[in-house]
Amino acid sequence: MDILEHFRHTDALLDGHFILSSGLHSANYLQCALALQQPTDAARFGQAIAEHYRDTDIDTVASPAIGGLLIGFAVASALGVRFIWTERQPGEMTVRRGFTLSAGERILAVEDVITTGGSTRECIAALESRGGRVIGAASIIDRSNGTADVGVARIALVEMDVPTYKPEACPLCASGDTAVKPGSR
Ligand SMILES: [Zn+2]
């Protein structure tokens, strides 16, 4: 399975010249949800992540909502363990919905894309504040090219180096090309 090819095929990964929500420019735009529209595709990615943890004792998979929900569910399904999620309750990532954790419960945190690792770190903190023990973290894509530190051992199916530029320092702009907002075409 060529993951990036699937991402391009489903328009989840665009090549061009984009204005990101941060205002920075980039030659790539990633919208992971588009790659997971078909349940069979989500299941394949889930299976691929689960393969890394076949010999690891995991009680539960947990993901930060909303981005991590589909892939987290798929990984939990492949591992045959339960799935829960954390969500942002204005501002702070929390465990809601009546989910409970046992002391020392072994958890794998799963995201669709890791960029800085921020939401995974918040998810891990919320789970550990409830007594869970996060033993690893995984994502389909790692946009940090391996540099994001979430405080636990981490794997990704694909590592990408996606440079971003301030508009005034953007080489694509300098070449005379006009940046577009993703979805505007
Ligand atoms: Zn530009």
pLDDT tens-digit map of 57-73: 999 999 999 999 999 99
160 CA → ligand 1 middle, Å = 19
Ion ligand 1: residues, CB within 5 A, are: 25, 170, 172-173, 179
Q: How far apart are CA 21 and CA 182, in angstroms?
A: 9
Closest to 6 in 3D by CA, of 51, 28, 38:
38
pLDDT in tens, 94-145: 999 999 999 999 999 999 999 889 999 999 999 999 999 999 999 999 998 8
Say which residue, 94 or 182, is predicted with more confidence: 94
Check residue 35 and give its pLDDT: 96
Closest to 24 in 3D by CA, of 128, 134, 171, 149:
171
- Whole-model pTM? 0.91
Residue 11 has pLDDT above 60, yes or no: yes
5 CA → ligand 1 middle, Å = 24
Q: What is the mean pLDDT of residues 135-160?
A: 94
Check residue 7 and give its pLDDT: 96
37 CA → ligand 1 middle, Å = 30
Do you find a cis peptide bond into 66, omega within 30 degrees of 0?
yes
Q: How confident is the model at residue 1 (pLDDT cuts 50, 70, 90)?
A: low
Check residue 184 and give its pLDDT: 58
Closest to 165 in 3D by CA, of 23, 68, 51:
23
138 CA → ligand 1 middle, Å = 31
Residue 183 has pLDDT above 80, yes or no: no
Sign of CA dihedral 180, 182, 184, 185: positive
* 67: helix, strand or coil: coil
17 CA → ligand 1 middle, Å = 6
Residue 26 has pLDDT above 90, yes or no: yes
